Amino acid sequence: MSGLVDQIRAALYGIWTRRWIALGVAWVVCLAGWLAVGAIPNKYESHARIFVRIDDVLSDQIGLGADRHRDINRVRETLTSAVNLEKVVRATRLGEKVTNEKQMETAVAALANAVKVTNSQENLFEIAATSGTSSYSDTENAHLAQDVAQKMIDIFREVNLSGGRGEMSDTLAFMDQQLADRQKDLEAAEQKRQQFESKNAGMLPGTGTAAARIEGTRAELRGIASDLMAAQSALASLNGQLAGTPPTVTLPGASGGAKGALAQAQADLGAMRARGLTDSHPDVIAQKAQIAQLSRAAAGEGSHGGTPNPAYSSLMSIKAEREASVAALQSRKASLEQDIGQLTTQQYSEPAVAAESARINRDYEVLKEQYDKLLRDREALRLRGQVESEHNAIKFEVIDPPTTPHGPAAPNRPLLLAGVLLAGIGIGCGVAFALGHLRGSFATTADLERAIGLPVLGAVTLALTQAGVTEQRRQLKWFAGGLAGLVLVLLALLALEFMKRRLVA
């Protein structure tokens, strides 16, 4: 820690011994810096805020609210367009020295960087206009910034409130003319189609073109084929069920004959074994003998015994219905295939007629679609124009008129002037410190020991006479006067800056 303190003390001593060099460098840097700061022109900024309210219930009801927001966004984006900025240049002092197109382009480009339109909230617009032309005085620049902001407000009002009505009338007149032309074309196309269909009535049966009718028939045929496959699949499944279903069933008991008794006896034998009776039990032996007897009797009955199976009868009824459905679908499929063959033969026998019919119908549909769309757009535009002319939905209000700048927005000259003073003093001290290191002198005995690697036995201090002390004090006064002069110059420049601001205000 003590070594660091010694280094700091040595650096300060080296600067102090060369304080006149540091002071001279500081004066040079400060004068140059203050001249550079003084050459920067002041920029004055004027602000204004505009509120545009869109709260018309009728516009929202007919669906124009979104269009209003879109229009305002469009105006905000185009407000700083080259055309509008050229209007501002011609209406203010910026256009006094503009004599040709090149100068106008330069002025418009400069104004585009000096004007900003921001949308701080949904319907709140802020206009900021900056003026810092070196050819004008500070007062003229301040008033010019205010004039530019006011002209931007006038353009905003003109575009939003009055610019749309004349444009709406011109648009409606243009759309009416286009609608009348489309109506004539549509009537001519409809008449041409009717004449063609009357002339070729025998070759164009039904409605629509031959290709369209073929495509419709093919679509129906695909549906019939799908239904037929499903019906055939269901019929095949039903046949499978019938193959596994007996026509008759044997009922247990007396009413079921020998087969029924045999089934009952076998069921009784199973019940005995379930109770745990073995084959040597008398009841089991007797039951087996009875089963053998009934088996011989059932074999003598043959296949003529039993009762008709109701499930089999129901499946046969369903099979008859499905066979009828399959036959109907096959008949319909054959009929559609015959129709497709006839239409295809007719189409290829008269290709020119089919092509002409397709072209006429296509032209007619295109014209009709255009006419219907244009008619809908015209009615919507007319309704919108009536709403705008009879019930103004935009409420335009200037919340804050363009302000008169009372001081420059840029640069911050007092801060720059003070910064130049600090920079000058810092650069002067840096130059003195660097010169101290370049000359190779030692400020302390410790520095000398580290440099030569030998111990230093002692140091001789400077002893001044009375005349030397007096001279040293005089030099200190001159040095303090030099520093004070820098501060006084800074204070004078600051006072001059604030006086200029008061004159502008």
State the Cα–Cα distance between residues 129 and 112, nearest whole angstrom.
Answer: 10
Residue-wise pLDDT tens digits, 101-158: 888 888 888 888 888 888 767 677 788 888 877 677 777 788 888 888 888 888 777 7
Q: Which of 46, 256, 59 is nearest to 152 (CA)?
A: 46
Q: Which of 153-157, 204-208, 371-375 has the highest mean pLDDT?
A: 371-375
Res 469: pLDDT: 78
* Whether 191 contacts 363, CB under 8 Å: no
DSSP single-letter state for residue 43:
B
Strands 44-54 and 124-131: antiparallel
Count of all residues that appear for the chain in the document: 505
Helix (H, G, I), strand (E, B), or coil: what is residue 207? coil
Please give the full DSSP string across 108-169, using - where no structure is assigned. Answer: HHHHHHHEEEEESSSSEEEEEEEE--TTS-HHHHHHHHHHHHHHHHHHHHIIIIIHHHHHHH
Give yes or no for residue 270 having a pLDDT over 90. no
pLDDT exceeds cutoff 50 at 62: no
Q: Is residue 332's pLDDT more than 50?
A: yes
382 or 2: which leads in pLDDT:
382
Residue with the bigger pLDDT between 202 and 429: it is 429
Task: Identify the band that residue 273 occupies on the pLDDT scale cut at 50, 70 and 90.
Answer: confident
Helices (H), 56-123: 57-61, 65-78, 82-91, 101-114
Q: Any idea which residue has 């003084």 for tokens?
A: 38
Specify the higher pLDDT residue, 447 or 55: 447
Task: Give the span between the Cα atoms of 69 and 62, in whole angstroms.
Answer: 14
Residue 405 tokens, joined: 């700048």
CA atoms in the 13 A half-sphere facing the CB of 173: 6
Q: CATH number for 44-176+393-400: choose from 3.40.50, 3.30.1890, 1.10.15, 3.40.1010.
A: 3.30.1890
Q: 29 falls in which pLDDT band (50, 70, 90)?
A: very high
pLDDT band of residue 254 (cuts 50, 70, 90) is very low
Tell me 93's DSSP state.
G
Give the pLDDT score at 80.
Answer: 76
- CA separation for the pair 43, 142 (Å, rounded): 8
pLDDT at 61: 46
Q: Which of 47, 46, 49 is nearest to 396 (CA)?
A: 49
Lowest-confidence segment of 214-228, 275-289, 464-478 by average pLDDT: 275-289
pLDDT at 59: 47
Does residue 58 have a pLDDT over 50? no
30 pLDDT exceeds 90?
yes
pLDDT-above-90 percentage for the chain: 7
60 confidence band (pLDDT: 50, 70, 90): very low
Residues forming beta bridges with residue 395, ordered by sequence position: 53
Q: Pick 474 or 462 by higher pLDDT.
A: 474
Q: Which amino acid type is present at position 302?
A: G
Q: Which residues contact residue 475 at a Cβ distance below 8 angstroms, ignoring those fewer than 6 apart?
A: none
Domains of the chain, residue spans: 2-39+419-504, 44-176+393-400, 210-364
